[in-house]
Structure 1
Amino acid sequence: MQDTIGIDISKDTFDIHRLSDRRHERFGNDKAGLAALRRWIGKAPVRVVYEATGRYHRDLEAVLGAAAHSLVKVNPTRARRFAQATSQGAKTDRVDAAMLARMGAVLDLDAKPVRSETMHEIRELHVARLALNKDRTACRNRLEAARNRVVLAQLRARLRQVDSQLAQIDTELARLIAEDPALARRQAILLSIPGIGAVTAIAMIVEMPELGTMDPKEAASLAGLAPITRESGKWKGRSKIGGGRRGVRNALYMPALVAIRHNLHFADMYRKLVEAGKPAKLAIAAIMRKLVILANALIRDDRKWTETAP
């Protein structure tokens, strides 16, 4: 890369900082602003560093990705910690843009593939499905305590509506994946793994698009399932898991329980851990880690899981 550019994204504007000449500009977060931003950056490929901001960075990715720039999307928490580590206490749009440019250069951040439009739609549907599931759980809980006939009727109507909307989302997800051969193959591989169903497969596709490109330790760490050692001098604390992609961990908990109950390989692994004195939750986390590592290996090798060659 010839240069690094930091972009602070808000609902209405983009604040830009170019590291080479420390120049700052502001453009509107709209079609005209994106066109002006593309002209300002120029044709030479540059590293563009920006924070994940939901729908507000989606058009930016499409425009700059099409112009062959290297896009680096960073976690806002990680960016804030970098600012704190460099004693940057101020926080404005202009300061944040400069901090992101410096972060990309100092850490030599690598570009990541931009999500396709299909993946954007699948992710949006997946997030909507998670919200509907929360609504359904809340309605069921309220239904158990409700006594008034009007309230009961409304809650039952809401449950029927949620079930209908979930069915619509599942149908649309199935259509989108079926229309993309690469995604359809990835889903088929994931569904072959014991315990992983359609909902979990979608969650893994959305939350860990990197599956198939990492080594086992990287896959476990990205999912937040790699044990974190805690030692200092003579003190040794318990290792624990954390960080990573919480959505993947949440999605894998029930599949791990199903795999333990219905698959001999995972059941035997779980039993040995418990017999060795490991807590049940730790043993379940180990099964979850095994599922992620297995999914990564199978997608990498483009093959389905089999009983004889897991």
Structure 2
Amino acid sequence: MNTIGIDISKERFDCLCTQRQRNRRFTNNQSGWKAFKDWIIDEEVHVIMEASGPNYLGLASHLYEQRLTVSVVNPLVIRRYGQMKLARIKTDAKDAALIAQYGIDQQPELWCPPSEARRGLKKLMSMREGLVRQKAILTGQAEAFNQHKEIEHMVNELNGKMQKEIEKNITRIDRRMETLAEKHYEQVMEALLTIPGIGQTAIEFVTITDGFRRFDSARKLASYVGICPGIWESGSSVRGRGSISKLGCPQLRKLLYMCSWSAKRSNPACKKMYQRLKSRGKPEKVIKIAIAHNLLRQAFAVDKRCEAFNEKKSLAA
């Protein structure tokens, strides 16, 4: 099978065809996608590209619809692969060649596009995060303005109106996300909502993990989130302090950490873990990360068993 590496950006993408050993550049739009497909016509190919923000999604989806074999790779993996190969030159053409060589050496898993429901939920979640950041900025400004009595009245008035409008839009987004999640992830949502400490963050859970469909073990899920323990040691002299890897999904890791605050009081298994680790003198942050990991495993278990949260099973685990 012929391997093609693609280095993609917002406006264009560079390709290297390993069989022909030559580069081509196309525009990153529908006409460019069609021209690329014509360029590789009648060839059995494996197309490899990086998951470079939203830039890759259009091309990858188009190629998938054309029944081509596509793999999408984490950019950090390609960067580390280039370091391993001692790559000294970085251009778009060289990056495409590096991606192609990675595809030949590693044979990455095949990609399939996210469902329409998940794409919609991710866009809504991204919009919500942006609105929350805007509201935090306005709240900080309002507090700073109130320190000065001579502040223009109009400034406070506009700030208040903008905050109310943002709150209104966040509420609209929350309702839409809830509708989509209940419609397309009904069983998973019902199971997650039975876990004490998860609450309405279940919507973000199913959005980020696609209802846990991408994972066949809790260990792989924890690795994806970046909440599994990391060990850094070598020989007898290097003994790094243990910590979580953080090479994962920061959004879900943040959500789990926030959930751990209430789970240590309301979730029996997490409460038991909190008391045990507290008695050993563990720092509060370490305990909350352990509880977050426990919550993640509980969420995975209720989904795979297709059953509600069971207090006895959670305490026995």
TM-score (norm 1): 0.91
User: Equivalent residue for 2:71?
Assistant: 72
Identity of aligned residues (%): 30
Higher mean displacement: 129-138 or 146-155: 146-155
TM-score (norm 2): 0.89
Question: Does 1:252 find its partner at 2:227?
Answer: no
Shift in Å, 1:113: 3.0
Question: Does 1:15 find its partner at 2:14?
Answer: yes
User: Equivalent residue for 2:296?
Assistant: 292
User: Equivalent residue for 1:165?
Assistant: 169
- For 1:61 and 1:176, locate their aligned partners in 2 and report how far apart those are by CA, in whole Å: 24
Shift in Å, 1:146: 1.2
- For 1:256 and 1:197, locate their aligned partners in 2 and report how far apart those are by CA, in whole Å: 11
- For 1:3 and 1:192, locate their aligned partners in 2 and report how far apart those are by CA, in whole Å: 49
Shift in Å, 1:20: 2.8
Q: How does 1:1-310 map to 2 (within 5 A)?
A: 2-42=1-41, 46-147=45-146, 148=151, 149-180=153-184, 183-198=185-200, 200-209=201-210, 211-212=212-213, 213-235=215-237, 236-241=239-244, 242-310=246-314
Q: Contact 1:45–1:68 (CA<8 Å) still a contact in 2? A: no
1:262-291 per-position Cα deviation (integer Å, ceiling 9, x unaligned): 122210111101112222211111111111
Q: Contact 1:211–1:295 (CA<8 Å) still a contact in 2? A: no
Q: Contact 1:11–1:29 (CA<8 Å) still a contact in 2? A: yes
- For 1:18 and 1:99, locate their aligned partners in 2 and report how far apart those are by CA, in whole Å: 11
Distance 1:6 1:302, change over 3 A: farther
- For 1:186 and 1:48, locate their aligned partners in 2 and report how far apart those are by CA, in whole Å: 33
- For 1:273 and 1:176, locate their aligned partners in 2 and report how far apart those are by CA, in whole Å: 39
Distance 1:260 1:172, change over 3 A: same
Shift in Å, 1:260: 0.6
User: Secondary structure of 1:238's match?
Assistant: coil
Structure 2: where are the runs of 5+ without partners? Answer: none
1:62-112 per-position Cα deviation (integer Å, ceiling 9, x unaligned): 211112333322222322222122121222211111111111221221123
Shift in Å, 1:32: 1.6
Q: Contact 2:270–2:295 (CA<8 Å) still a contact in 1? A: no
Q: What count of residue pairs does the alignment treat as equivalent?
A: 306
Supply the AA of the counterpart residue of 2:278: V
- For 1:126 and 1:308, locate their aligned partners in 2 and report how far apart those are by CA, in whole Å: 34
- For 1:187 and 1:280, locate their aligned partners in 2 and report how far apart those are by CA, in whole Å: 30
Shift in Å, 1:116: 1.9
- For 2:44 and 2:305, locate their aligned partners in 1 and report how far apart those are by CA, in whole Å: 32
Root-mean-square deviation (Å): 2.0
- For 2:45 and 2:297, locate their aligned partners in 1 and report how far apart those are by CA, in whole Å: 34
Distance 1:189 1:61, change over 3 A: farther
Shift in Å, 1:45: 5.2
- For 1:83 and 1:210, locate their aligned partners in 2 and report how far apart those are by CA, in whole Å: 33
- For 1:184 and 1:73, locate their aligned partners in 2 and report how far apart those are by CA, in whole Å: 28
- For 2:114 and 2:78, locate their aligned partners in 1 and report how far apart those are by CA, in whole Å: 21
Supply the AA of the counterpart residue of 2:210: P
Supply the AA of the counterpart residue of 2:4: I
1:2-47 per-position Cα deviation (integer Å, ceiling 9, x unaligned): 2322111122222111223323222221112112222333366533
Distance 1:46 1:210, change over 3 A: farther
1:136-183 per-position Cα deviation (integer Å, ceiling 9, x unaligned): 122222222213222211111111011011012112212333442xx2
Q: Contact 2:73–2:108 (CA<8 Å) still a contact in 1? A: no
- For 1:277 and 1:126, locate their aligned partners in 2 and report how far apart those are by CA, in whole Å: 37
- For 2:198 and 2:203, locate their aligned partners in 1 and report how far apart those are by CA, in whole Å: 10
- For 1:260 and 1:80, locate their aligned partners in 2 and report how far apart those are by CA, in whole Å: 39
